[in-house]
Amino acid sequence: MRAAIVTQLGTPPHLGERPDPVDRPGHTLVRVTAAAVNPVDLLIASGGHPAGAPAVPYVPGVEAAGTVVSGGGLAPGTRVRVAVPGGFVDGTLAELVSVPDDACVPLPDALDGDLAAAIGVVGVSALLALREEAALQPGESVLILGATGALGQTLVHLARALGADRVVAAGRSADRLKALGDAADATLLLEPDATAAPTPDLLAALGGPVDVVADLLWGAHTRLAQAALRPGGRWVNLAQSAGATATLDAAALRHRHLRVSGFSGTALTAPQVTAAYTDLAALAATGALPLPVSVHPLDEIATAWAAQSTSPGAKLVLRP
């Protein structure tokens, strides 16, 4: 089969030939129609993933959409989303992939295959961070710090879908903030250097204090996150694109009863991912998750890999 293949850690994959996976107990063979490229793919290929360095050569890719060929309890031809730890097993950036039976989630008829492949990693993390970790309730307000990448945009759309009354998108790209359109009630263009304390005008631009902050930036932008929360507010960190360390005002945390927590999709179990993706796919099938998707043939794996390394602002999907 044709596949993207990593032959040396720290270098992009190239298009090549790989033996077809074979039927085996407990696994379903799936013909891939669309496979997403994710930051974790690049991390694994660098050798820097916490789980260790993968053995080469291997096929990267952790998620895809496709159709069942054989095996498992689903009929051949069933459209599914699949997830595998690509790198530590052969992944999804290929014509065929073998996945555990419980990693196959049937897709709604109304959900496009490219979008089905694109929304999994970012969507599951965003949905569970908002719905479970932050316990977002209908009618509450949310500030998304770092709303211009794929995960940030997904958080904006899902906050709206979960019933948030006010959604504020903050980021460092004016064009990408504008592209969010009506999904955000307000947008805030952040300065690259956020060393100064938030001003009253800056806080007023949010439309008032918020109940929840979903933070993808950390670093110096924690000042804004802490100042924006109303008493009793919840602050969930999902990434650190502005820096791995930050200074917090401990007195404010105590006296305003703020809750700070971290969330990572890597800690989720397979049943948690399956349940969350099922809910996510149902929402996406209604048009509630209009994530921008950039589709390329698998032959362009090197180009897509390079684009992912620059935070493209859209989900990159490859078709074998």
With beta carbons less than 8 A apart as the criterion, state whether 146 and 216 touch. Answer: yes
Q: Look at residue 206 in the predicted model and tell me its pLDDT.
A: 87
Same CATH topology for 2-119+291-319 and 123-265: the answer is no
pLDDT digits (tens, 9 = 90+) for 26-41: 999 999 999 999 999 9
| Fold (CATH) for 123-265 | Rossmann fold (3.40.50)
DSSP-assigned beta bridge partners for residue 17: 2
Domain ranges of the chain: 2-119+291-319, 123-265
Spatial contact of 145 and 224, defined as CB atoms under 8 Å apart: yes
HEC string for the chain: CEEEEECCCCCCCEEEECCCCCCCCCEEEEEEEEEEECHHHHHHHHCCCCCCCCCCCECCCCEEEEEEEEECCCCCCCEEEEECCECCECCCCECEEEEEHHHEEECCCCCCHHHHHHCHHHHHHHHHHHHHHCCCCCCCEEEEECCCCHHHHHHHHHHHHCCCCEEEEEECCHHHHHHCHHHCCEEEECCCCCCCCCCHHHHHCCCCCEEEEEECCCHHHHHHHHHHEEEEEEEEECCCCCCCCCCCCHHHHHHCCCEEEECCHHHCCHHHHHHHHHHHHHHHHCCCCCCCEEEEEHHHHHHHHHHHCCCCCCEEEEEC
Query: For 172, phi and psi rounded to 5 degrees?
Result: -110, 15
pLDDT at 246: 92
pLDDT of residue 81: 98
How many Å apart are CA 44 and CA 47, to the nearest integer? 5
The whole-angstrom separation of Cα 261 and Cα 130 is 12
Please name the CATH architecture into which domain 2-119+291-319 falls: Alpha-Beta Complex (3.90)
The answer, as to whether pTM is greater than 0.85, is yes
pLDDT value at position 191? Answer: 82
The pLDDT value recorded for residue 200 is: 79
Taken in order 66, 104, 280, 124, the sign of the CA dihedral is negative
- Smallest CA-to-CA distance from 4 within 53, 71, 12, 36 is with 12
Which pLDDT score is estimated for 202?
77
The tens-digit pLDDT sequence of the chain (320 residues) is 999 999 999 999 999 999 999 999 999 999 999 999 999 999 999 999 988 999 999 999 999 999 999 998 899 999 999 999 988 999 999 999 999 999 999 999 999 999 999 999 999 999 999 999 999 999 999 999 999 999 999 999 999 999 999 999 999 899 999 999 999 999 999 987 776 678 777 788 889 999 999 999 999 999 999 999 999 999 999 999 999 999 899 999 999 999 999 999 988 988 999 999 999 999 999 999 999 999 999 999 999 999 999 988 899 999 99
Q: What's residue 195's pLDDT?
A: 64
